[in-house]
Copies of this chain bind each other. A is one copy, B any other.
Amino acid sequence: MDQKVAATEQPRYIKLNACDNVAIVVNDFGLPAGSRFACGLTLAAFVPQGHKTALVDIAEGAPILRYGEIIGHAASRIGAGEWVDEARIRMPDAPSLDALEIATAVPPQLPPLEGYTFEGFRNPDGSVGTRNILGISTSVQCVAGTLDYALKRIRAELLPRYPNVDDVVALTHAYGCGVAITAPEAIVPIRTLQNLALNPNFGGEVMVVGLGCEKLSPDRLLPEGVSEGIVRMQDEAFEGFGAIVDAIVAMADARLAVLDRRRRETCPAGDLVIGLQCGGSDAFSGVTANPAVGFAADLLVRAGATVMFSEVTEVRDAIQLLTRRAVNEDVGRALVREMAWYDAYLARGGADRSANTTPGNKKGGLANIVEKSLGSIVKSGSSPIAGVLAPGEKARSKGMLFAATPASDFICGTLQLASGMTLQVFTTGRGTPYGLAAAPVIKVATRSELARRWKDLIDFDAGRIATGDMTIEEAGWDLFRLILDVASGRTKPWSDRWGLFNALTLFNPAPVT
């Protein structure tokens, strides 16, 4: 990275690749026309922070290069020092899925990293949780109000008696009835609910609250071979609401007693299942936070952990870079399969890849989905892509996996939890108070200004990479150590301290009825 860093008031830009003909302005709040960089370039117009300026004259129709990749073509001539805003860039077509190179540039396996551990809750199935939570599954939204009511009693009457249990979480959702449950795509939400119940942070103590007449039969949410653990509200044995609530509380009590006997034990870092996500991205995402996360991801992979990156619509436009990294032909084809599925899903609804970018992304300097994607996939680090998960599938292998999910923060988080994630690292440029009840979330800011302003929401300031206060490598190691601390319960991220949790949100590509 060719970084121009000087005193705070010195105009600074970041150029990422030797081939790039644009660079992004680093200084908080942007730079006025006439600002002169150390290299001699002078701005011809105001350029907001994170937005691009041309480093050289760019002819009409010529490629605009960032990350060494074409993010578009000049809609008209752009002079050196001008603001290369969204309107001046014609977006290229998405890479065709028919002619991708697969497994042609598989990175070498990174050297193993030994000796790093965390304090986790080991489960009977060998998985390890970072939290000791009772997760109560639900088969249908109809029971949500009742479970909320019971939850208040469980929190007030039972939890104080079980000090080793971190929390009780109701896995409520909008699915279960009023849905086309035999439609081809119904497998996605059903699999998600089944696998959510098995998240390692729930310690294998599954219980389900169901209604009785719903389409999604509650027993489908029990693990294979388990037949006990359901409270069905319509059971004729229940005389009224009080009896139903009593039954939920009693079933929770038995499970809490089991969970309370567990203790944290030292586990190798390879037992972690880490999800990576970004939300509210800006042009710094691919420069500061995502490279730091990518570096930490490489450390995790080297330590033998499972790491997932996601968000189909944010990798689709850089898929040619990922299929080359696929560890083998099967994995490469699975990547293509997930991209093709999503292309068709969007087309069916009259949308396309351009639907991804938000006003906030654009305000933050991201011209289009190509530029956003190039910054997004940096999170995946430099290891081979070892596997691909369809939405909500459980991870069963180690290394860097692509977990195919929508980019929607809350849907991606829900699906990564279903895939077995026990801790999430979330990068943000514009800022979001995102959090999950079922797993701790470390929020990484792309800019120091955000980290300062949201000092009680942001857990890690990767903006220090842009200001030159820290290298990517240093940030990556710090983040890796923070992940071990948070996984061990030694450090609480801000979302856990405030109790800020987003709703579980299922991905249901099938119709409702």
Decide yes or no whether A240 CB sits under 8 A from chain B: yes
Given contacts A145-B433, A360-B214, A510-B349, are A355 and B242 in contact (CB under 8 A)? no
6 A-B pairs in the complex with CB atoms less than 8 angstroms apart: A142-B280, A142-B410, A183-B349, A213-B360, A240-B454, A351-B510
Decide yes or no whether A404 CB sits under 8 A from chain B: no
- Within 8 Å CB of A143, what residues of B? 433
Is there an interface contact between A512 and B406, defined as CB atoms closer than 8 Å? yes
Is there an interface contact between A180 and B142, defined as CB atoms closer than 8 Å? no
Given contacts A500-B146, A502-B145, A505-B141, are A512 and B358 in contact (CB under 8 A)? no
Is there an interface contact between A513 and B359, defined as CB atoms closer than 8 Å? no
User: Separation in Å of the A323 CB from the closest CB of chain B?
Assistant: 21
Complex alpha-carbon distance, A435 and B350, angstroms: 34
Is there an interface contact between B453 and A513, defined as CB atoms closer than 8 Å? no
- Stretch from A85-93, A103-111, A155-163, A230-238 that touches the partner: A230-238
Is there an interface contact between A212 and B430, defined as CB atoms closer than 8 Å? yes
- Stretch from A17-25, A170-178, A329-337 that touches the partner: A170-178
Cβ-neighbour of A457 out of B241, B409, B453 (below 8 A): B241
Q: Which of A130-148 touch B at CB < 8 Å?
A: 141-146, 148
Decide yes or no whether A265 CB sits under 8 A from chain B: no
Decide yes or no whether A503 CB sits under 8 A from chain B: yes
Interface secondary structure of A, over-half rule: loop
Is there an interface contact between B178 and A408, defined as CB atoms closer than 8 Å? yes
Cβ-neighbour of A149 out of B145, B349, B499 (below 8 A): B499
Given contacts A241-B456, A511-B349, are A145 and B499 in contact (CB under 8 A)? yes
Complex alpha-carbon distance, A461 and B267, angstroms: 58
Top 8 closest pairs, chain A to chain B, by CB: A213-B360, A178-B408, A180-B351, A145-B500, A349-B511, A213-B430, A180-B355, A183-B351
Q: Mark A418-456, 1 if CB is under 8 A from B, else 0.
A: 000000000000111111000000000000000001111
Q: Which of A173-231 touch B at CB < 8 Å?
A: 174, 177-185, 211-215, 217
- Within 8 Å CB of A239, what residues of B? 453, 455
- Within 8 Å CB of A410, what residues of B? 141-142, 174, 178
B-contacting residues of A (Cβ < 8 Å)? 141-146, 148-149, 172, 174, 177-185, 211-215, 217, 233-234, 236, 238-242, 279-280, 313, 345-346, 348-351, 355-356, 358-361, 363-364, 406-412, 430-435, 453-457, 494-495, 498-503, 505, 507, 509-513
- Within 8 Å CB of A217, what residues of B? 359
- Within 8 Å CB of A409, what residues of B? 141-142, 177-178
Which of A279, A350, A409 has the most chain B CB atoms inside 10 A of its CB?
A350
Cβ-neighbour of A181 out of B146, B177, B355 (below 8 A): B355
Is there an interface contact between B234 and A505, defined as CB atoms closer than 8 Å? no
